[in-house]
A and B are shown apart, each in its own frame.
Chain A
Amino acid sequence: MDKISQFKGLAAPLKISNVDTDQIIPAVFLKRITKTGFEDGLFANWRQNPDFVLNQDRYQGAEILVTGSDFGTGSSREHAVWALKDYGFKAVFSSKFADIFLGNSGKQGLIAGVITDSDTEKIWAHIDDNLGAEIEVDLPSQEIRLGEMVIPFAIDEYTKWRLTEGLDDIGITLQNEAAISAYEAKRESWKPKTLPAKGV
């Protein structure tokens, strides 16, 4: 995964609460065999409405999603995070995320930052009033900067460390390569190997 520190980007307001993962990506998109290319599934049902926020010209190319509370509830599908990332989002902010969605985001390198309800309203108002305004996300200092405002966001320390270091779970494990190799060196010789194949 790429290391994340600060970035500026266009923000889109999703003024809806209780967005479950079935809305983020409907089940019909889960039959695929790739981990990429889920952008067309993102909010697929809602995007059939031409007025939906992501269909509006002013939010094309948005990289930051600012949503109502209780985002990512319901089914555990990792595809919800894949779809947000594939569409181009790097960060989602809400006053409350479902646990599993939060865990999946951390695994896949999507910032899921928790802000207060009143700060959510402030950001929405700023976006509404400033066409094309970019906002800045600063992960190390856990701040969102827009205009004169500086808004703090919460993210757990372990996830923040992994994201700023650009480490996924596999990346972290691979830091322990020496320990894995040491274990392998003393692995018992009677233990099975699938190759070369026997009995075929």
Chain B
Amino acid sequence: MSNKPLTLAEKLWRDHLVLKGENGAPDLLYIDLHLVHEVTSPQAFDGLRLAGRGIRRKDLTIATEDHNTPTQNIHLPIADPTSRAQVQALRDNTAEYGVRIHSLGDDNQGIVHVVGPQLGLTMPGLTVVCGDSHTSTHGAFGALAMGIGTSEVEHVLATQTLPLQAFKTMAINVEGTLRKGVSAKDIILAVIAKISTGGGQGYVLEYRGSAIRALSMEGRMTICNMSIEAGARAGLVAPDQVTFDYLKGRPHAPAGDDWDQALKDWADLKTDDDAVFDAEVFIDADTLDPFVTWGTNPGQGVSLMDSIPDPESFTDPSQKAAALRALEYMDLKAGTKMKDIAVDTVFLGSCTNARIEDLRAAADILKGQKIASGIRMLVVPGSQLVRIQAEQEGLDQVFKDFGADWRFAGCSMCLGMNPDQLAPGERAASTSNRNFEGRQGKGARTHLVSPMVAAATAIRGTLSAPADLEI
């Protein structure tokens, strides 16, 4: 083996190489963990059935229900027949093939990207795939985690491998200390605003620097989760003591001798000192403000202290055209102060920001306050276990006293596949990951925000920073 210094991403690739592709053919990589949900799996199972193939490693496969599931009255049958059929197909397929599933009503049910880490299945040094673009979340543990399509889901079920073309590497260096009221979500929104929604195309991003080291696992997951919004193949954070402390004692974390051996192996999971990235980006954490989006893609964001930019100020004609289109859809005018934008709904949830730490951060701000008049707020824990933990900590009571709706776990209002949707023209401050046209419902308008900004906004009724509450 050569002694060329390697980045973390290159080490993970090397460690999972089953076969090196020759003459332009892709490399074949081994997949350690395959997460499955109801939307992108039915045709994959059907493909297996037609070809008379089985699942190679059902012991490396796990399924849950999240996209189509309602977040209230979960004891009733799912009302929408299409959603109900898709969930039933997953139940039937997993039963037929012997795949572990956590269904609606089960304590381990929840958003697939919350369930994997909380069970201790996601860990450093793995390859993780799921038929879902936000699989990048699991990179927070120092795992190579990628979203895949339905044909690839079938491929992994049948072979536990994937043919993949090589990637480039990009370092995202975030140095300094975040100020009070600024969080991981603001870092990633600032990164995407800086490199744009296509800036990460073909790259695996590695988030580095003192501000990343200082983040909890929840914060690191928030950042890696949105790597895909910059177009990246995956996002990574090198594992450290924070990672090991989070993992230790979780149901599927290594134990005994395996834990000791794992720690030894994980010690090598960092970019070598003299390794070279194909690209580097620098973000100053010391001066970072809360970040919010004004447009219809996650790259159209600014500091909450700023105003909506003038499309005429964009030099790139396609960016300018996109900004004009976005402002029309969002019914906003250039020059409007972000803090003057009033919202109808606040959504605290999604695979980006629905972990226990996100709920605590919001509850801290909401405690003893009342929701602004005319506003509704949905609080949707990322998993049933997060819901149970939040209730043990009394967070649910804080949300209910404030005037928010406390729901069961699921993808909820992040995407218009279940009953939680915005009405046409309705405007939301949302802790989710995509502000695309129609994403939260037909004609819906989305501003992406952090949990702390979501909470402050629910109190004031307009996009607000926690600091605005102290004035």
Contact = CB atoms under 8 A, between A and B. Distances in A.
Nearest to A176: B19
A199 interface: yes
Interface stretch (A54-62, A112-120, A188-196): A188-196
Contacts of A158: 25
Given A183-B30, A188-B261, A190-B254, A170 B53 contact: yes
A41 B158 CA distance: 28
Contact of B123 (A179, A183, A192, A197): A192
Interface string B112-141: 000000011101011000000000000000
Range of interface residues on chain B? Answer: 35 or more
B100 interface: yes
Interface residues of A, number: 32
A36 B46 contact: yes
A128 interface: no
A198 B107 CA distance: 13
A127 B29 CA distance: 47
A195 B99 CA distance: 9
Given A192-B121, A199-B108, A34 B61 contact: no
B120, B151, B258, most chain A CB atoms within 10 A: B151
Interface string B327-344: 000000000000000000
A180 B163 CA distance: 12
B258 A189 contact: yes
B236 interface: no
A33 B151 contact: no
Contacts of B102: 200
Interface string B43-73: 1001100110100101111100000000000
B43 A33 contact: yes
Interface stretch (B81-89, B185-193, B289-297, B444-452): B81-89
Nearest to B157: A170
B161 A194 contact: no
B50 A194 contact: no
B86 to A, nearest CB: 6
A197 B30 contact: no
B348 interface: no
A194 B100 contact: yes
Contacts of B62: 194
Given A170-B155, A191-B126, A34 B119 contact: no
25 contacts: A31-B82, A33-B86, A33-B89, A34-B46, A35-B43, A78-B149, A78-B151, A158-B25, A169-B155, A170-B53, A170-B158, A173-B159, A179-B19, A179-B28, A180-B30, A188-B262, A189-B258, A190-B261, A192-B121, A194-B60, A198-B119, A199-B252, A200-B102, A200-B108, A200-B251
Interface of A: 31, 33-36, 78, 107, 158, 168-170, 172-174, 176, 179-180, 183-184, 187-195, 197-200
Given A34-B43, A192-B252, A194-B121, 19 more contacts: A35-B47, A35-B50, A158-B25, A169-B155, A170-B53, A173-B28, A176-B18, A179-B19, A183-B18, A189-B261, A191-B32, A191-B125, A191-B126, A194-B59, A194-B100, A197-B100, A198-B251, A200-B106, A200-B251
